[in-house]
Amino acid sequence: MCQAEVGSQLRQLENGVSENDSLALSELAAELLQLPCRGQRLTTRAAFLLGDSALAEVRCNLTVPDGTFAVQESQRITGIEDHAVATGANVAVSCQNDASAARLNFQVKDTEATLETRVRFLTSDAIRVLIAPKFQPRMLGQGAQSIPTLSLTTPHIARYTTLAHDSNPLHVDKAAAQAAGFRDLIAPGMLLCALAEMAVVHGNPQAKIHDLRARFLSPALVNTSVQVVVSQTSTTKSRVFVVSDAHDILAIVDIFTDA
């Protein structure tokens, strides 16, 4: 299988992530969870860097092979501070991809900020037979809290994809989503991460998140609501399950905070 790699190329961000976009993400997550928005700068805003014009060449290396569709598998975001996502920040970028998957890594120079995105390229037949794991109460620790969201409508999804410059047609084109084997549009995985992060911050407003690790197990369809279940596994780690009404696990998000 042929593998291509773009290794450690240095790019200078042309746009970065603006204060307005950071606030818009917080407002969207808070609205969906029906929580007050306190102007939090969510770590997940770092995903917006994928749309920076300085990285257009890198994004070209993530072109979906013919006959497949890009489905996000996992995400890790570490050490994000304001200066790491600002215009002019220097980012070392590496990309590995083949016919089945791609991995994109960002490392902001002279900081601890990193961003790793993993994507699988699946055929529509493979997507149709995917089976989501079921959520079980035994997965939770003591004192777990569950927060339901509003319905993830098309306008909600469009607000996120506009902020993130996310052009994946599975989020915006119903015909493309159905051709891929989904019943309808699917919500971006990083929107689910934003909901998980907002739920953790709501439970502990003083928490400073320094590491987020997500695995995406099943799609969240448009016009459905989800449950965001926060279980604290230690003083510095929360495990968040994003769960459908049918008890399918859509995503598991581990969020690490300062003690």
pLDDT tens digits, residue range 245-256? 999 999 999 999
Q: Supply the DSSP symbol for 151.
A: P
**pLDDT of 61:** 66
Could you list the residue range(s) of the whole structural domain that residue 42 is in?
4-257
pLDDT tens digits, residue range 149-177? 999 999 999 999 999 999 899 999 999 99
3-class DSSP assignment, residue 241 = strand
Using alpha carbons, select from 99, 104, 129, 102 the residue that is nearest to residue 115: 104
Two tokens at 170? 């599975």
pLDDT in single tens digits along all 259 residues of the chain = 334 444 568 999 999 999 999 999 999 999 999 999 888 899 999 999 988 999 887 777 677 899 999 999 999 999 999 999 999 999 999 988 888 999 999 999 999 999 999 999 999 999 999 999 999 988 887 789 999 999 999 999 999 999 999 989 999 999 999 999 999 999 999 999 999 999 999 988 888 899 999 999 999 999 999 999 999 888 899 999 999 999 999 999 999 998 6
**pLDDT of 3:** 44
DSSP per position, 22-83: HHHHHHHHHHHHT--------GGGGGGGGG-GGGHHHHHTTPPPTT-EEEEEEEEEES--GG
**pLDDT of 141:** 75
What gap in Å lies between CA 30 and CA 32, rounded to an integer? 6
Structurally, how many domains does the chain consist of? 1
**pLDDT of 259:** 61
**pLDDT of 140:** 87
**pLDDT of 27:** 97
User: Between the CA of residue 245 and those of 29, 46, 56, 250, what are the distances in Å?
Assistant: 19, 29, 38, 10
CATH code (residue 159): 3.10.129.10
**pLDDT of 138:** 87
What gap in Å lies between CA 192 and CA 28, rounded to an integer? 11
